[in-house]
Amino acid sequence: MNVTRLSVNINKIATIRNARGGSIPDVVLAAVRCQQYGAQGITVHPRPDERHIRYQDVRDLRDVIKTEFNIEGYPSQRFIDLVLEVKPHQVTLVPDSHDVITSNQGWNVIKYEAFLKEVIREFQEAGIRTSLFIETDVTQIESAVSTGTNRIELYTEPYARNFSRDPVKAIAPYVKAAQKAVEAGLGLNAGHDLNLANLRYFHQHIPDLLEVSIGHALISDALYFGLENTIKRYLEQLT
């Protein structure tokens, strides 16, 4: 069984900072502390309006991230240029429109295969691992192979929404999707609405999971438990 890495999405740290202006809380210091407390990666998702993570934040973070840097976003030309400049370890491509509050769907890979293939090739030529944000439809996962992506990230909001009612039913499509991805030679990540209530169950049933990216729930829990203790609690769910 692979070790599943915890990548902390620090967008919400930037949201708090931007609500007041200035530099408090400091997103760079937050990234440093997350790593010191055991997180194995840092994720950011800069959006065009920079309402949380700013493009300059991404540049400022590069030199302090000693674990793994994952940049998420829609591959507009501005985003592509930023990723090629910063050269993170991984770029996760999401199909967000400019006005969504948070990611709310996976790629229609079949429809956008040619576009994604071109973007992915550009990133990989720069030595950047690629991942596609995707739902559990196995036909979409099969199409993802044709894009040349290294990994997919399973969009887990439907799992989280249904977990409390019927965990067996909630996890079932993710088990099938994960099996298909592994059979196809794709690395497997997951993220969106994973939390202390549902993460362990997800991890137990997806044995080939390489990485989870968690932001909103983790940063919210840190308000109650403290950042160091919260990261420890999340890591415990992955053991």
pLDDT beyond 80 at 53: yes
Q: What is the pLDDT of residue 19?
A: 94
Q: Which amino acid is at 83?
A: V
CA distance 143 to 157: 22
3-state DSSP call for residue 8?
A: strand
Mean pLDDT of 104-120: 91
Q: Are 154 and 178 in contact (CB under 8 A)?
A: yes
Q: Annotated catalytic residue: which of 45, 52, 135, 153?
A: 45
Q: Are 134 and 152 in contact (CB under 8 A)?
A: yes
Beta bridge partners of 7: 41, 213
Mean pLDDT for the chain overall: 95
Q: Which domains does the chain have, with CATH numbers?
A: 5-237 (3.20.20.70)
Six token digits for residue 61: 């973070």
Confidence of residue 215 (pLDDT cuts 50, 70, 90): very high
Q: What is the pLDDT of residue 158?
A: 97
Q: CA 15 → CA 8, 9, 18, 51, 163, distances in Å? A: 15, 12, 5, 7, 28
Q: Annotated catalytic residue: which of 52, 68, 153, 192?
A: 192
Q: What is the pLDDT of residue 102?
A: 54
pLDDT beyond 70 at 85: yes
Mean pLDDT of 11-32: 96
Q: What is the pLDDT of residue 99?
A: 55
Six token digits for residue 39: 């997180």
Q: What is the pLDDT of residue 145?
A: 95
Q: Are 2 and 207 in contact (CB under 8 A)?
A: yes
Q: Annotated catalytic residue: which of 72, 135, 153, 211?
A: 72
Q: What is the pLDDT of residue 90?
A: 98
CA distance 101 to 153: 19
Tens-place pLDDT, residues 12-22 = 999 999 999 99
CA distance 50 to 47: 5
Confidence of residue 97 (pLDDT cuts 50, 70, 90): low
Q: Which amino acid is at 204?
A: Q
Of the candidates 83, 134, 131, 88, the residue with the CA atom closest to the CA atom of residue 107: 134
% residues pLDDT > 90 (the chain): 91
Mean pLDDT of 211-236: 98
Annotation marks residue 98 as catalytic: no
Annotation marks residue 72 as catalytic: yes
CA distance 193 to 214: 7
pLDDT beyond 70 at 24: yes
Mean pLDDT of 47-60: 95
Tens-place pLDDT, residues 127-159 = 999 999 999 999 999 999 999 999 999 999 999
Confidence of residue 106 (pLDDT cuts 50, 70, 90): confident
Mean pLDDT of 171-178: 98
**Between the CA atoms of 175, 177, 182 and 188, what dihedral angle is there, to the nearest 10 degrees?**
-90
pLDDT beyond 50 at 101: no
CA distance 64 to 97: 30
Q: What is the pLDDT of residue 103?
A: 55
CA distance 229 to 222: 8
pLDDT beyond 50 at 212: yes
CA distance 109 to 182: 18
